[in-house]
Amino acid sequence: MTASDGRNRGVVVVTDSDLPTEGVAERVLEPAGWTVRRAACRTSDEVRAAAAGADALIVQWAPVEAAVLAELERCRFISRLGIGYDMIDVAAATAAGIPVANVPDYCVEEVATHTLAFMLSLTRRLPQLDAGLRAGRWAAAADGAGAQRTTAVTAGVIGYGRIGARVAEMAAGVGFEVVVHDPHVGDERIAADGHTAATFEQLLERADLVSVHAPLTDATRHLLDGPALARMRPGSALVNTCRGGLIDEVALAAALASGQLGAAALDVFEREPLPLDSPLRHAPNLQLSPHAAWYSPVALQELEQRAAQQVADFLDGRPVATIVNPGYADARAARAMI
């Protein structure tokens, strides 16, 4: 059945959403007979209470942990309202036979453009020039000290997925030399795209500017920690529009204060909103934006619509190409045989 015949087919729970798009999921799912129930979960206990009896979940930031998944007897699908899915215990979902899908490409252009804007701002020293002019100076050489030609800058891109690859393409297009590290992508593909493949260590030592686009996992948490930041070229710059947990923020603030790093630009943080007592708020030569790289009106509408549509598709037996744990099917089949 793909349309409502007046019967309630079940419940889809939106565990949380801070997006100004309420009603989009309802317009997708309710005509197909699904009741949409919204919550504002922040903790596992709140998810447990809100998700009871749900046939599917749409999750933005709420933690979906193994203990909760074990209690979701009716749940057949989890849709992540975004790209990353580190707030969901995917291994536990797989073991429970529950597929997890994300929306991996709704904002590739927006994030890549935001990243490039940061890279160019750091390279051309725009914040310093702006501050000098506002303070009454007219001193291009003094306030713009350190500005460079893009053709004289090596940009290192860590992670060569959809966004990382687009950032590399755009950076090369404005003149940066691009080196790439991604252990899951062959050197041949990187070379075919016109860039240079490098190990993690080689990239840190060679790049004048590093932009990180890796998923946040146990293995990548604090990928850029104190020792890694110390390995970067003195005075180099760092950009993160991906996941805050990839960088040790205390170590980053210290590296900026000491001058080991010349500048940085961050759109994402380990805790969001950024705490008032974060050392980043007082670090020198640091540009900040409030997890805004993904945003455009088009991306905003597309995100919730697609997150809801893949719920409808899966529950009606249509294929969903964005499932991140295809092993769920084997686990589900094994459970059915017990």
- At residue 90, the 3 state secondary structure works out as helix
- The half-sphere exposure of 244 on its side-chain side, counting CA atoms within 13 A, is 19
Beta strand spans in 65-163 (E): 77-80, 100-101, 154-158
* Active-site amino acid positions: 243, 272, 291
* Cα 123 from Cα 104, distance rounded (Å): 29
For residue 28, give the nearest of 296, 318, 311 by alpha carbon: 311
Judge contact between 93 and 68, C-beta under 8 A. no
Q: How far is CA 15 from CA 49, 104, 224, 276, in A?
A: 10, 19, 31, 27
Distance of CA 251 to the CA centre of its chain: 21
DSSP 25: H
Which amino acid, 65?
A: E
For residue 232, give the nearest of 224, 221, 240 by alpha carbon: 224
* Cα 287 from Cα 189, distance rounded (Å): 32
For residue 245, give the nearest of 218, 264, 207 by alpha carbon: 218
Residue whose token pair is 């759109």: 267
Q: Please name the residues in contact with 143: beta carbons below 8 A apart, sequence gap of 6 or more.
A: 125, 128, 129, 131, 132, 133, 137
Judge contact between 57 and 76, C-beta under 8 A. no
Query: Is the peptide bond between 273 and the residue preceding it cis, with omega within 30 degrees of 0?
Result: yes
